[in-house]
Amino acid sequence: MDPKVVLITGASRGIGRAVAEHFAALGHKIAINYAGNKAAAAEAAAAVQAAGGEALTVAADVGDSDAVAGLFETVGAEMGPVEILVNNAGITRDDLMLRMKVDQWDDVINTNLRSVYLCSKAALRGMLRAKWGRIISVGSVSGLSGNPGQANYAAAKAGIVGFSKSLAKEVGSRGITVNVVAPGFIATDMTAALGEDVTSSAAERIALGRLGTPQEVASAVGYLASDTASYITGQTIVVDGGLAL
Amino acid sequence: MERSEIETKMVDLLVEELGIEREKIAMGSKFEEDLEVDSLGVVELLMALEDNFDVNIPDEEAENISTVSEAVDIVAAKVNG
């Protein structure tokens, strides 16, 4: 595949960073979006360069429409139109429904779902012009199976699935595919925050008997972006080691 | 810019960008009904118009365009306005 411009939201850490490194190793140009952790973004950029890719870091709250406009302007000016978009930015604000504040709901919906709408829309123009594009969003098994304490997160992640199916139908005739990768328990800062008890009891429910790595999610994202996956659209690939079986 | 010039360019774009047969295109042609352009095709045409005429057509105005002539009107207003 020719070198492409790849924008990954929330790419300073965890799965996003692993995706950035995966595409960097293929020689692509990588735009690393991050919310606020400049040091982590710089580390991710250094890793991308070490892996053989060009790197650009852009701070932007992807739940905010002005910030997203600015993000795409910067990437467009520095690297060119986005050809592969990976909607990865995500947060959790877990709580039982009866205790969940409206802010916890809104923050999660904005960062995890509104961002997917804003970024995909911004990327589409260039993709329609090129008659080629890949939009891959990171969902979650929470959005497919549900998870107590995560009504907000599960709603956002399930929303991504419906969004992607609809958009896949809208733009499929123009060579653009839209898919979802739904990870299960992956060893990142987000799952580390749950504590060892939760992660070790989760591992017992996983067919493969262990948490996944960010790289194992990144390789599924990479597959969907590749020419090998050119006839796959509107799909959700579950990468959970057999958790949701 | 002369209206006839915009009309000529519009027809060229319809042929080149959307693959419509030149003979089928009249100023009164409706994009979706007469020219079988799907709704996404109309959006693509607007993008091509923006690039070619160096204008910006906001979504609110784009929604009102259903015929070739209406698209010419909007571009003419922007270019000459």
pLDDT of residue A29: 97
pLDDT for the residue A200: 84
Nearest to A129 among B38, B40, B47 (CB): B47
Ramachandran category for residue A151: left, alpha or beta (phi over 0 → left; psi -120 to 50 → alpha): alpha
Contact B48, B17 (CB under 8 A): yes
Q: How many whole angstroms separate alpha carbon A198 and alpha carbon A195?
A: 6
What confidence score (pLDDT) does residue B43 get?
Answer: 86
Cα distance between the two ends of chain A: 34
Nearest CA in chain B to A127: B44
The region of weakest confidence among A53-62, A97-106, A132-141, B41-50 is B41-50
Give the whole-angstrom CA distance, residue A123 versus residue A5.
11
Range of the domain at B67: 3-80
pLDDT of residue B61: 86
ipTM score over 0.95, yes or no: no
pLDDT of residue B15: 92
Q: What is the pLDDT of residue B62?
A: 85
- Cβ pair A153, A112 in contact under 8 A: yes
Using the beta-carbon criterion (under 8 Å), do B47 and A128 form an inter-chain contact? Answer: yes
Q: Which of A65, A125, A166, A176 to mutate to test the interface with B (most CBs of B within 10 A)?
A: A125
- Alpha carbon distance A44, A13 (integer Å): 7
Q: pLDDT tens digits, residue range A193-245?
A: 878 888 888 889 999 999 999 999 999 999 999 999 999 999 999 999 999 88
CATH number for B43: 1.10.1200.10
Phi, then psi, of A33 in degrees rounded to 5 = -90, 145
pLDDT of residue A192: 81
- What is the distance in angstroms between the Cα of A128 and the nearest Cα belonging to chain B? 7
- What number is the average pLDDT over the span A75-88? 98
> What integer pLDDT is reported at residue A77 of this predicted model?
97
Best to test chain A binding among B36, B37, B42, B43 (most A CBs inside 10 Å): B43
The letter for the amino acid at A238 is V
Mean pLDDT within A152-169: 98
Cα–Cα nearest to A55, from A9, A6, A88:
A6
A195: left (phi over 0), alpha (psi -120 to 50) or beta: left
pLDDT at B63 over 90: no
The total domain count for chain B is 1
If one compares A23 and A192, the residue with the highest pLDDT of the two is: A23
Amino acid B39: pLDDT = 83
> pLDDT at position A48, please?
96
| Under 8 Å between Cβ of B7 and B27 | yes
- The distance of A174 to chain B (nearest Cα, Å) reads 9
Please determine, for residue A89, whether its predicted confidence score (pLDDT) is greater than 90: yes
Report the pLDDT value the prediction gives residue A189, as an integer from 0 to 100: 82
Q: How far is B55 from chain A (nearest CA, A)?
A: 15
Angle between the N-to-C axes of helices A151-171 and A115-130, in degrees from 0 to 180, rounded to the nearest 10: 20
pLDDT tops 90 at residue A108: yes
CA angle A173, A174, A175 (to 5 degrees): 100
Which residues of B does the annotation mark as catalytic? 38
- pLDDT tier, B9 (very low <50, low <70, confident <90, very high otherwise): very high
pLDDT of residue A17: 97
Residues A20-74 have pLDDT tens digits of: 999 999 999 999 999 999 999 999 999 999 999 999 999 999 999 999 999 999 9
Catalytic residues of A: 153
- pLDDT exceeds cutoff 90 at B59: no
pLDDT digits (tens, 9 = 90+) for A173-187: 999 999 999 999 999
Inform me whether the pLDDT recorded for A145 exceeds 90: yes
Packing angle, helices A214-225 and A14-25, rounded to 10: 50
The most confident of A101-115, B8-22, B56-70, by mean pLDDT: A101-115
Q: Which residues of A198-221 are buried (b: 16+ CB within 10 A; e: fewer)?
A: ebeebeeebeeeebbebebbbebb
Of A150 and A189, the structure prediction assigns the larger pLDDT to A150
